[in-house]
Amino acid sequence: MKSKLSQSFPDGAWPYLFLLPYLIGFSLFIIGPLTNACIGSFTDWCLFRPERTFIGAENFVKLFQDESFRISTINTIYYVVALVPLQTTLAMLLALLVNRTFRGVTFFRNVYFAPFVMSLASIGMVWSWLYTTDIGLVNRVLSTFSISPPVWLHDPKWAMPAVIIASVWRNVGYYMVIFLAWLQNVPAELIEASQVDGATAWHRFRHIILPLLTPAIFFTIMIGVILGFQVFDITYIMTQGGPSQATTTLLMFIYKKGLTSGNLGYASAASLVLLIMMLIFTILYFMGQKKWVFYQGRN
């Protein structure tokens, strides 16, 4: 006899118990500080002073008149719009490539994943050397193909692409692993059946594998965008914000204004704007999920 209560709580109190550690941490380490910071964005909160006084929306007004803020926002959007499709596609292609079972395939999978375990600081440094004019590896390779290379990290037009390339190199392995996991969930019968029916490899990919991969694509894009909006370490190390702010991202702006200049209220206002931008994206993205993401076992 299922009571009404046990119908709305089919698993009893267990889920809540299991979520308890997470919820404790969530309130202590996330919501608490976050609210503090949000309130701070409406004050003249300063790094070197314990008290802060309410100043209303002054920080936000200043923010929208700030040229640096505009530049950082555009740079960040540029970064995300270029990085996410690139790394998603490449990760998917790589996963398709290594989705074989021959001896040594694990070696290749590890190699492609290896950059992801390097610390961003070392990646930034190594790549900034690779991009050195004339003697850096990148330009040396390019000149053997008779391409005259740009100055990369000191050219406002090429600094961001340089950073994006380094980011793709780093991230692709991680998303490849995710795609690989989903690829290996493709039921073998479907593949066999299509082969029996005489489908070409491209046909197989387009109509069987791709739809089944949509959850992985969904996830990769979502995480890619959210993490992309928060890019900091790699631009900080490689270009320190870039030739004439070409690689200054939103988070760098927040860091500089907040922790270097000490203007925490202003920085919190900027982070609130960043947060809202990401929230809007996520909500719209999730709402559009039904249109193209296909989960196995559902209609």
Partner 1 sequence: MNKQVQKYLWYFLMLILTLIFIAPILSSLTTALTPSQDLFSSAGRLFPGKITLDNFRSVWNEMPMKQWYMNSIIVATLYTLGHLFHTSLAGYALSCTNFPGRNIVLIVAVSTLMVPFHVVMVPMFTLMRDLGWIDKLYPLFIPSFFGELTSDSNPKRVNNSFPVA
Partner 2 sequence: MIRWGKRFLVLSLILLIAVSLLGCEGNLEEKKGDVVIRWGIYADPARLEIAEKLVEVFEAEQPGIKVEVEATPFAQYYEKLGSQIGAGTAYDIMMISGAYFSMIAPEGGFLNLDGLIEESNINLDEYTTEDANSKYNGGTYALPWELDIHGLFYNKDLFDKAGVPYPDENWTWNDLLKTAKTLTKGKQWGFYSENHYPSWISFIGQAGGSILDRHGNVAINESEAESAIEFMVDLIYKHKVSPAPGQLPEGVNPFHTGTVAMSIDGSYSIPPTLELDFDWDIAPLPKERKRAVAYWTQGLAIYSRTEHPEEAWEFMEFLVSKKGQELFANTHMATPSLISVAQSEAYLASGVDKNLKVFVDSYQYGEPVPFERFFEIMRGTDAAIQDPFSQAWRGEISAKAAVEIAAENIKNVLEH
The DSSP call for residue 147 is P
By C-beta, is 49 or 206 nearer to partner 2?
49
Residues 203-242 that bind partner 2 (CB under 8 A): 240-241
CB 246 to partner 1: min, Å: 21
What's the CA gap between 191 and 204, in Å, rounded? Answer: 7
Q: How many residues of this chain interact with partner 1, rule: CB under 8 A?
A: 80
Q: Is 119 in the site for partner 1 (CB under 8 A)?
A: no
Residue 296 phi/psi, 5-degree rounding, is: -60, 135
Q: Which does 59 bind (CB under 5 to 8 A by kind): partner 2, partner 1, none?
A: none
According to CB under 8 A, which residues from 30 to 49 bind partner 2? 46-49
Q: For residues 108 and 116, give the distance between their C-alpha atoms in angstroms, rounded to a whole number.
A: 14
Q: How far apart are CA 102 and CA 23, in angstroms?
A: 45
Looking at residues 260 to 289 of the shown chain, list those that interact with partner 1 (rule: CB under 8 A): 264, 267-268, 271, 274-275, 278-279, 282, 286
> Cβ closer to partner 1: 81 or 114?
114
Q: Mask: binding to partner 1, 215-254, rule CB under 8 A, as x and -?
A: x---x--xx--xx-xx-x------------------x--x
If binding is defined by CB under 8 A, does position 136 make contact with partner 2?
Answer: yes
Q: Which of 92, 136, 235, 237 binds partner 1 (CB under 8 A)?
A: 136
* Main-chain dihedrals φ then ψ at residue 240, nearest 5 degrees: 50, 35
203 binds, among partner 2, partner 1, none (CB under 5 to 8 A by kind): none
Count interface residues toward partner 2 (CB under 8 A). Answer: 32
CA 176/CA 97 separation, integer angstroms: 10
d(CA 57, CA 65): 13
190 membership: H or E segment, kind and range: helix 188-196
Which residues within the stretch 45-104 sit at the binding site for partner 2 (CB under 8 A)? Answer: 46-50, 68
Q: Measured between alpha carbons, how far is 226 from 220 in angstroms, rounded to an integer?
A: 10
CB-CB contact of 161 with 150 (8 Å): no
In the list partner 2, partner 1, none, the entry touching 152 (Cβ below 5 to 8 angstroms by class) is partner 2
DSSP code, position 28: I
d(C-alpha 66, C-alpha 68), whole Å:
5
Phi, psi for residue 54 in degrees, rounded to 5: -70, 130
Write the burial class of residue 281 (CB in 10 Å: 0-12 exposed, 13-18 middle, 19+ buried): middle
Site string for partner 2, 145-164 (x = CB under 8 A): ------xxxxx---------
Residues 13-32: x where in contact with partner 1 by CB under 8 A, - otherwise, as a string: -xxx-xx-xxxxxx-xxx-x
Question: Applying CB under 8 A, which residues contact partner 2?
Answer: 14, 46-50, 68, 125, 128-129, 131-136, 151-155, 240-241, 243-245, 256-257, 259-262
